[in-house]
Amino acid sequence: MSANPAIVVESLMAYWRSDALVAAIDLGVFTAVGDRSRTVRQIAASCRLDASALTPLCDYLVGEKLLAVRANRYRLTATARRFLDERSPAALTTITTFFNGRVLRRCFAALPRTVRNGRPALGAAMRRRLWVEFARSALPLRKLDAAATVRDLLRLGAVRGRILDVGAGASPLGLELLRRAPSTSLVVQDRRGVVTVAMEQARRAGLADRVAAFAGSIERRSATGPFDLALLINVLDYVQPSARERVLRNVRAALRPGGAIVLRTPMLGGSHAGHREAVDYNLLVLALTGAGAVTAGELSRLLHRVGFATPRRSARSSLMLARVPR
């Protein structure tokens, strides 16, 4: 491959893209356009903005394929209409609070220090607050991800009985499983502030009568079993390496014979290479914890060591499933 300076320059300018998008979301540009075709003056009037200053931003968003323009009138592209208009049921506008918020940006700004000393920029108290914020703001994105995971779990015949969602966040996957499998029930286990968010979502979904909350660290103990299925969605990477085996032993002890554990995370291969989602996620884990994510091989060996049968991996959805021997 020949040397290409554009790779360097585009990477250094990447924050222009994210900051422009966050600005347009915060200013309400996409919602102001909605399902209409509007001039800059009309958009500016709706959002109380300066029309001459708004024009370069709208033109930039055209280049990003989030707006289209014809005869000086702007409209939303299909992507923006679905994910950036706040009136859309699939809107992702809340995720800026986490991904582009002050706390996570501070973690990435501190990457040189983190790589030098192997310690994260955030203390334990700040990390706890960050995960409560994640549970709320990233819920729309996690709902999209949950749909694909549910399809895999149903195909594998793993959805039945009592389900434990460890490190549940707002438990979008657990709630979606309840919708698809009426005979199931769910226990969400996470920090106290986070399980409060999960129970709020269960009430909104009309599923609260089938959901129970357990506030407590899985490093100490699991919610009382037995369970037929345990979910660990992007959880183990945020547990100290020395505690990961203990977490898996606690989960195994809570499962019935024949019960299944499902781990879902963008997994790197043994050579620490992988698809872009896994590489990006590995960097996020580094910024938040001071170490990289668990690889597929490491996870498989951990599961064997604590007594699970040979795990099955779905590379398409970064999902690994293992069962307790009968």
**Burial 85-111, CB ≥16 within 10 A → b, else e:** beebeebbbebebbbbbebbeebeeee
Q: Name which of 29, 30, 52 is nearest 41 in CA terms.
A: 52
Please report the pLDDT score of residue 264 as a whole number: 86
Has residue 41 got a pLDDT over 80?
yes
Please report the pLDDT score of residue 170 as a whole number: 82
Please report the pLDDT score of residue 271 as a whole number: 58
Model confidence pLDDT, tens digit, residues 70-105: 999 999 999 999 999 999 999 999 999 999 999 999
Q: Are 296 and 268 in contact (CB under 8 A)?
A: yes
Please report the pLDDT score of residue 142 as a whole number: 86
State the Cα–Cα distance between residues 240 and 262, nearest whole angstrom: 19
pLDDT > 90 fraction of the chain, expressed in percent and rounded: 63
* Domain boundaries defined on the chain: 5-86, 117-323
Q: Are 114 and 286 in contact (CB under 8 A)?
A: yes
Please report the pLDDT score of residue 218 as a whole number: 84
- What CATH fold (topology level) applies to the domain 5-86? Arc Repressor Mutant, subunit A (1.10.10)
| Mean pLDDT, residues 227-246 taken together | 91
State the Cα–Cα distance between residues 312 and 157, nearest whole angstrom: 13
Q: Are 303 and 261 in contact (CB under 8 A)?
A: yes
Q: Is this structure's pTM higher than 0.75?
A: yes
Please report the pLDDT score of residue 123 as a whole number: 84
Please report the pLDDT score of residue 272 as a whole number: 56
- Give me the architecture of the 117-323 domain, per CATH: 3-Layer(aba) Sandwich (3.40)
Sequence-distant (≥ 6) Cβ neighbours of residue 246 within 8 angstroms: 219
State the Cα–Cα distance between residues 91 and 46, nearest whole angstrom: 20
Q: How is residue 314 written in tokens? A: 């779905």
Q: Name which of 55, 88, 89 is nearest 74 in CA terms.
A: 55
